[in-house]
Amino acid sequence: MDEEIRRNALIVMFGGISTVEALILNTLWILARHPDWMEAVRSDRSQLPAILEESIRLIGPVQSATRLVTRNMEVDGVQLRQGDIVNLILSAANHDPAVFEAPGEFRPRRASASRHLSFAAGPHLCLLMHLARAEAAIALAVLFDLLPGLRVDLQHTCPPRGQCFASRQG
Ligand code: HEM
């Protein structure tokens, strides 16, 4: 039990640092590759929530989540046994063409925008996802206000990467 409390406390205290940092930087990187959206958000901050939501879907800061199988079951022809641990690739679900048309494209305001799984789902849905969204929106708004001439040098920028929750918890 102590170990469970310790791990949960660690997520509450530290789970929202590198994740939000990744969301802010990934979004900047995406906007640099989509100057029309960069221009749109510079002149109208109300575009930020939709832009952030699509950024979270396209390049989720957390790429996977682990789950303990509590009873024998079959999922899509795969047999799962009680006690198995499965690693769910959230980013793959976020690129499911049956849910997201042209999933590799950055399309804020797409009809299915809210159906991404970047904050997971079910009882362990990210506890502070609304805080994460607010933090990123405030950070980007302040950045654009303070640095109106901000440019991202794509020549010297690595493509963004998400991380696996499983490795953070391990
Ligand atoms: C963009 C930023 C964030 C992303 C993408 C994200 C993503 C996630 C995901 C995928 C999970 C589920 C993990 C699992 O089921 O194994 C989760 C859980 C959690 N997140 Fe976040 N998170 C973010 C920001 C934050 C922030 C800012 C906090 C707190 C300050 C936070 C606190 C938590 C906590 C406490 C849980 C565990 C919930 C539970 O197990 O019931 N997260 N997050």
Per-residue pLDDT, 168: 35
* Residue of the CA atom closest to atom 18 of ligand 1: 126
Distance (angstroms) between ligand 1 centre and the Cα of 46 equals 25
**Residue 41 pLDDT:** 96
Between CA 130 and CA 32, with CA 102 as vertex, the angle to 5 degrees is 65
| Binding site membership of 131 for ligand 1 (Cβ less than 6 Å) | yes
Residue ranges of the chain whose pLDDT lies below 50: 164-170
What pLDDT is attached to residue 162?
A: 60
Q: Which two tokens stand for residue 43?
A: 């002149």
pTM, to two decimals: 0.90
Q: State pLDDT tens for residues 80-120.
A: 999 999 999 999 999 999 999 999 999 999 999 999 999 99
CA–centroid distance, 63 to ligand 1, in Å, is 12
Query: Looking at domain 2-61+95-159, what is its CATH homologous superfamily?
Result: Cytochrome P450 (1.10.630.10)
